A and B are shown apart, each in its own frame.
Chain A
C-alpha cells in the first residue's frame, strides 16, 4: 500500500484555516470601512458644531467691524490641534481675520467661497455664513487636518488586524484540536488496512473510535475483514475436503489398477498357458479346426493382456507427476525411428524426416510415450505402402510452436476424426491394422496434462497428420 502524499489532518486544518481567515478578513475589511466612514462623519459633525459656535461668537466682532476681537475669537482654536487654519470674511467676502494670524492662500482662501463642507486632499474644509438674525454679516472658513483622523483610522485598523490575527491563532488551535475527531479515525483505519495488507493477517481489527460515519466505516471495514476471514476458513476447509476426497479416490483408483494388473492378468495367463498345454499335450486328439479355435483363444487372450497393459498405462499417465526438463524432441524421435527400423529392417522404403532444434521443456518420459505412439502409428499405417515418408517437425502458428507427425499412409476419413482420441475407438479393422485404441487417448491425455492441444488431419489413403502444442514453460 502506498503512503499518502498529504494527510487528512493537514487538509482539514487547511480547510478550517482558509474558511476562518476569509471570514475574518471580510469582517475586518467591513469593519474598517465602517470605522473610516463613521469617523469622517463624526469629524464633519464636530467641525460643523465648532463652526456654528465660532460663527455665533464672531457676530459681534463682524457687526462692530472689530478685527482684533475677531482674531481673539479665532485664536481660541489653539486648543484644538486638528484645526490648522481658519478665516473670517466680511459681508463683501474680503478677509476680515485669520488663524493663525496672517495666514493666507492656499491655507485660507483669499475670498469667501461657496458654503458647505468640502474634502481637499488631507483636509476637511468647512465654510458657513455668520448671521445675526436674518442679516448675513459675513462667513467663516475652517480647515481641519485629516491626519489626526488617519491616525485614528490606522489605530482602529491595527486593532482590527490584531483581533483578526488573534482569532486566526485561536482558529488554528481549535482546528488542530477539532480535526483529531475526523483525521484520527481515518488514520487508524488506514493503518489497519496497511497492517492487514502487509502481514496478510485478516484477524486484525480497526478500533472503533467515533460514533459518526467514520465509526460506521470502521465497523464496515471490520465486518468485511471478518467476512474475508470466514471465507478463507471456508475455502481452506473446502480445499482440504476436496483434497482428501481426491486423495481417497486416487487411492481407490490405484488399488483398483493394482488389482486389475494382478487379478485380471492371472486368469489370462492361465487361459493362454493351458491352451498351449492343451495343444502340446492333446494336440494329436484335435483336428485342424480344434487347433485353429485354440489359436483364436490364445490371440484373444494376448489382445486382452495388451489392452489391460495399455489401460493401466493410461491410468498411470493421468496420475503421474509431471517432471519437466529441457530436451530435444527430435533426438527422442530419432531414437524411436531407429528402434522401429531395427524391429522391421525389411521396410527399407520408409524414410524418416526429423527436424532439428525442437527443444522443449516437458516431461521427457511422457513425451517419449507421445512420440512413440505417433511415430509407431505412422509406421503401422504406412505398412501397406511400398514407400513411405514419415516426418516429425515444427512450425509456428500465431506465435505458438506446433509440432507435427505426418505420414503418407492409410490415413482416415475426417468424418470420424472425433472418434480418434476416445479410448477403445478405432477407425481401422483389427484385421487390417492391429491395435487396442488406447494409444491416441494416452497421447491426448499427456498433451492435455502439458497444457497443450492435440488435433488430427487426414484423408483416406492420403496420409494422416497429428499436431500438438505444449504450454511454453521457461526453465
Chain B
C-alpha cells in the first residue's frame, strides 16, 4: 500500500530547506520524510535500524533521490530499490546537481522514473519543484500496492 508520503533523500540542509519551502509554497500538504544519507533511505524503505518498527507495506508515493549522498550513493540506493520486489515499482525521481551524462545514463539504466537537475536560480528551482509536485502527487497514478504482504 502506498500512502501520500514523500521520501526525500538529501544531505544538504540548505537544499532540504529550499525544497520544503518550494513545496510549501505550492500548498503541497503531503508528509515529507527527510533522510540524510543513502543508508538511512534504505533503512526507511526496508524498515531497518531506526525505522524497524515501520511497516514495509506502507511505502511513499514518490521518492526524491539525490545522487551525491553520504554512505550509500543515490544510484546505489536506486539499484537496491529496483532489485527488491517490495519496492521495485516505486516512482523514483532523481533530484540532483549533476548534469553529467554518465549520471543521467546510470539513473535511467537503473530505471529512474525521472531525472531533474536542481537549477541554481531559485525561481527556476521552485518552478521545477512545483511541476514535480503537480505531476507526481496529483497527475500521476501510482502503481498498485504489491499483493503479498510478507515482503516477497
Contact = CB atoms under 8 A, between A and B. Distances in A.
B2 to A, nearest CB: 30
A316 to B, nearest CB: 8
A274 B68 contact: no
Interface string A272-306: 11111100000000000000000000100110110
B14 A269 contact: yes
A416 interface: no
Contacts of B98: 258, 261-262
Interface in B50-64: none
B21 A277 contact: yes
Interface in A55-111: none
B97 A273 contact: no
Nearest to B118: A269
Query: In terms of DSSP, what is the predominant structure of the interface of chain B?
Result: loop
Contacts of A265: 97, 118, 120
A354 interface: no
Contacts of A268: 120
A285 B68 CA distance: 37
Given A261-B99, A261-B100, A266 B14 contact: yes
Contacts of B18: 269-270, 273-274, 277
Contacts of B122: 269, 272-273, 275-277, 298
Contacts of A267: 14
B31 interface: no
A contacts with B: majority SS:
helix
A236 to B, nearest CB: 30
B125 A269 contact: yes
A269 B17 CA distance: 11
A184 B12 CA distance: 83
A205 to B, nearest CB: 50
A261 B97 contact: yes
B49 to A, nearest CB: 27
Given A265-B97, A269-B15, A273-B125, A305 B21 contact: no
A267 B15 CA distance: 9
Interface residues of A, number: 23
Interface string A140-165: 00000000000000000000000000
A305 B123 CA distance: 14
B99 A266 contact: no
A258 B120 contact: no
Given A266-B12, A277-B21, A272 B97 contact: no
A305 B68 contact: no
B121 interface: yes
Given A261-B99, A266-B97, A305 B121 contact: yes
Question: For A269, A275, A302, which residue has the most chain B Cβ atoms within 10 angstroms?
Answer: A269
Given A258-B100, A261-B98, A272 B15 contact: no
Nearest to A312: B99
A100 to B, nearest CB: 131
B15 A270 contact: yes
Nearest to A302: B121
Interface string B116-137: 0011111101000000000000
A352 to B, nearest CB: 29
Contacts of B118: 265, 269
A276 B119 CA distance: 14
Contacts of A262: 68, 97-98
Nearest to B121: A302
A258 B100 CA distance: 7
Interface string B14-50: 1101100100000000000000000000000000000
A161 to B, nearest CB: 95
Most buried by A among B14, B118, B121: B121
A305 B99 contact: no
A276 B126 CA distance: 11
Contacts of A301: 120
Contact of B120 (A257, A302, A312): A302
The 10 A-B residue pairs with the shortest CB-CB distance in the complex, in nearest-first order: A305-B120, A270-B14, A273-B18, A273-B122, A276-B122, A262-B97, A272-B122, A268-B120, A265-B97, A302-B121
30 contacts: A257-B100, A258-B100, A261-B99, A262-B68, A262-B98, A265-B120, A267-B14, A268-B120, A269-B15, A269-B18, A269-B118, A269-B119, A269-B120, A270-B12, A270-B15, A270-B18, A272-B120, A272-B121, A273-B17, A273-B18, A273-B21, A273-B125, A274-B18, A275-B122, A276-B122, A277-B122, A298-B122, A302-B121, A305-B121, A309-B99
Interface of B: 12, 14-15, 17-18, 21, 68, 97-100, 118-123, 125
Given A258-B98, A266-B97, 8 more contacts: A262-B68, A269-B15, A269-B97, A270-B12, A273-B18, A277-B122, A301-B120, A304-B120
Interface of A: 257-258, 261-262, 265-270, 272-277, 298, 301-302, 304-305, 309, 312
